[in-house]
């Protein structure tokens, strides 16, 4: 009886160790907001409008279609299709239908049919519904595992100026102010020239 109990206990312990190892298989490196933007191919805010499974469990993979409202990096397209694993041990990330996110996506490697992919380690942040530019404090709670957030002023600065979907352009920068000294110099030269011309015209 004692031997049977020991065997059962050993098997239970082995199963527990195996489960813990699998659950902790994903390990993400912490990085600053500027690094997250630099590492990504595309950064945008958008709402999930469609979800398609391309590979069933185990190691399920899905393609999420986002309706974009602002693009911070990459082509300003109206929609993005982002592939992702959905299992935690594979550093998967689960997006909810009709929910809005700040998404950091890179080149797709493992999800067939997706040109871009993301993961738990990419820095995605669930954000509040809306269509306006991202603001500090726009993060929201989610039932799924996530390590991104909160939306801070440092993150907003790192993201830069967004572009609306369908528009072309780059982040705007202030134009240099016109030097008043230069304006004054031009005015003096103009006045001197006109005075010289007036005197010579009178002499003639």
**46, pLDDT greater than 80:** yes
**197, pLDDT greater than 50:** yes
Q: pTM value? A: 0.69
Kindly state the percentage of the chain with pLDDT values over 70.
67
Give the model's pLDDT for residue 166. Answer: 83
**Under 8 Å CB-to-CB from 97, ≥6 apart: which residues?**
48, 49, 51
Q: Taking residues 90-114, what's their average pLDDT?
A: 90
Secondary structure (DSSP) of 129-183: S-SSPP-TT-B---SS--------HHHHHHH-S-B-TT-------PPPPPPHHHH
**158, pLDDT greater than 90:** yes
Give the model's pLDDT for residue 59. Answer: 73
**162, pLDDT greater than 60:** yes
Q: Which residue has the tokens 């005197």?
A: 199
Beta strand pairing status for 61-73 and 100-107?
A: unpaired
Give the model confidence (pLDDT) of 115-150 as tens digits.
Answer: 899 999 999 999 999 999 999 999 998 777 777 779
**Under 8 Å CB-to-CB from 121, ≥6 apart: which residues?**
26, 28, 29, 91, 147
Give the separation between CA 93 and CA 120, rounded to whole angstroms. 5
**β-sheet bridge partners, residue 66:** 48, 80
Give the model's pLDDT for residue 29. Answer: 85
Give the pLDDT band (50/70/90) at residue 201.
Answer: low
Give the model confidence (pLDDT) of 164-181 as tens digits.
Answer: 998 665 443 333 333 445
**Under 8 Å CB-to-CB from 111, ≥6 apart: which residues?**
54, 55, 61, 63, 83, 84, 85, 117
| Mean pLDDT, rounded, of the chain | 77
Task: Output phi, psi for 79, to 5 deg.
Answer: -140, 145
Give the separation between CA 133 and CA 126, rounded to whole angstroms. 14
């Amino acid at each position: 009886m004692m031997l049977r109990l020991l065997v059962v206990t050993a098997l239970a312990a082995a199963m527990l160790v195996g489960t813990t190892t699998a659950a902790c298989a994903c390990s993400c490196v912490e990085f600053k907001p500027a690094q997250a933007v630099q590492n990504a191919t595309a950064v945008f805010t958008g709402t999930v409008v469609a979800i398609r499974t391309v590979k069933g469990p185990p190691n399920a993979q899905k393609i999420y279609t986002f309706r974009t409202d602002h693009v911070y990096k990459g082509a300003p397209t109206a929609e993005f299709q982002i592939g992702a694993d959905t299992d935690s041990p594979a550093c998967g990330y689960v997006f909810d239908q009709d929910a809005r996110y700040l998404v950091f996506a890179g080149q797709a490697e493992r999800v067939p049919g997706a040109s871009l992919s993301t993961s738990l380690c990419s820095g995605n942040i669930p954000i509040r519904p809306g269509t306006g530019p991202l603001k500090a404090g726009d993060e929201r709670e989610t039932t799924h595992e996530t390590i991104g957030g909160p939306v801070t002023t440092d993150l907003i600065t790192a993201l830069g100026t967004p572009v609306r979907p369908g528009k072309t352009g780059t982040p705007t920068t202030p134009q240099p102010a016109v030097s008043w000294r230069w304006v004054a110099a031009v005015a003096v030269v103009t006045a001197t020239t006109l005075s010289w011309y007036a005197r010579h015209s009178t002499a003639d």
